[in-house]
Amino acid sequence: MLLGAIEAGGTKFVCGIGGENGEIYERVSFPTTKPEETMKQVVSFFNQKKIEAIGIGSFGPIDLTKTSDTYGYITSTPKPYWENFNLVGEVKKHFSVPIGFDTDVNGAALGESKWGAAKGLDSCLYITVGTGIGVGAVVEGKLLHGLLHPEMGHILIRKHPEDYFGGSCPYHLDCLEGTAAGPAIEKRWGNKGVELSNDKRVWELESYYLAQAIVNYILILSPKKVILGGGVMKQEQLFPLIRKEVIKLLNGYIQSKDILEGINSYIVPPGLGDNAGLAGALALAHNSLIESDSLELKHD
């Protein structure tokens, strides 16, 4: 079985062909320019390939309400040319297969729960810390949605008393993303994170913020696994710092062995490594196929 996967990002679109066990046979990427240019490349990549479903994990915000007139659209993005673009509609024009569509991070959470670090669990959190901070969640075996999709990167957090950086979020200034995403690190310290690997202060402060957010996610969602990916998390020294701070902040309140004794395997990097995003889109394709099969069964 061949499945198509589109990881639709604000900088590039990664497209791939893979299988139902998360394996990826082929991948290409195209810069995200104007929709008509980028989509032409996407469509021509999948043309002639015998795919049975396509999954799209997209940058957002996106409309995921199936009954909405703008289902499948990228909505209020500041990315030029892409506001109100009918992404699912454009793919559907060219391919008459089931199409799975969700946020890039929800896709990654689903992929990790099917094939990665949360395999076999009905609940996990996938956090990416990079240019922005995004979080996807599997809850009770399903991807988390509600009024809209979650926007957990923007939660309000406590400022460190010695952090005088005002924050870089255009909406909330010093929310989590405005305080701890890549651009915030660069603005605060004057250098990119990757150039600051050896500066202990940088990573202690970073883990102070990320641990706070993770503690709130744990108290609210009670995930069975917390997976941290994205460019900033390439600084692997963050993992032990974050784990230690999470334990300290929870202070024994959550009586779970998985946390109290198993923190090293509770807060982890993606099991699918750098493939987490594309495999996430593949997982969305896989789910859309399962759903369409079960709909057909019901109609029979």
- The structure tokens 């094939």 sit at 115
Q: Does 290 bind a copy of itself (CB under 8 A)?
A: no
Q: How far is the CB of 213 from a copy of itself (least distance, A)?
A: 9
- Reading the block at residue 299, the tokens are 């109609």
Q: Which of 3, 20, 217, 227 binds a copy of itself (CB under 8 A)?
A: 217
Question: What x/- string results for residues 95 through 124 when contact with a copy of itself is judged by CB under 8 A?
Answer: ----------------------------x-
Edge-first strand order for the sheet with 142-143 is: 142-143, 133-139, 124-129, 226-229, 267-268
- Contact positions with a copy of itself (CB under 8 A) in 65-84: 75-76
- Reading the block at residue 228, the tokens are 């941290």
Q: How far is the CB of 121 from a copy of itself (least distance, A)?
A: 9
Binding residues with a copy of itself: total (CB under 8 A): 45
- Contact positions with a copy of itself (CB under 8 A) in 128-187: 135, 139-140, 142, 144-152, 154-159, 171-172
Selection from 210, 49, 35, 54 nearest residue 129 by Cα: 210
> What is the distance between the alpha carbons of residues 29 and 156, in angstroms, rounded to a whole number?
35
Show Cβ contacts of residue 162 under 8 Å, excluding neighbours closer than 6 positions.
none
Nearer residue to a copy of itself within complex by CB, 275 or 287: 287
User: For the packed helices 200-221 and 182-189, what is the interaxial angle rounded to 10 degrees?
Assistant: 150
Interacting residues toward a copy of itself by CB under 8 A: 61, 75-76, 123, 135, 139-140, 142, 144-152, 154-159, 171-172, 212, 215-224, 249, 251-256, 258-259
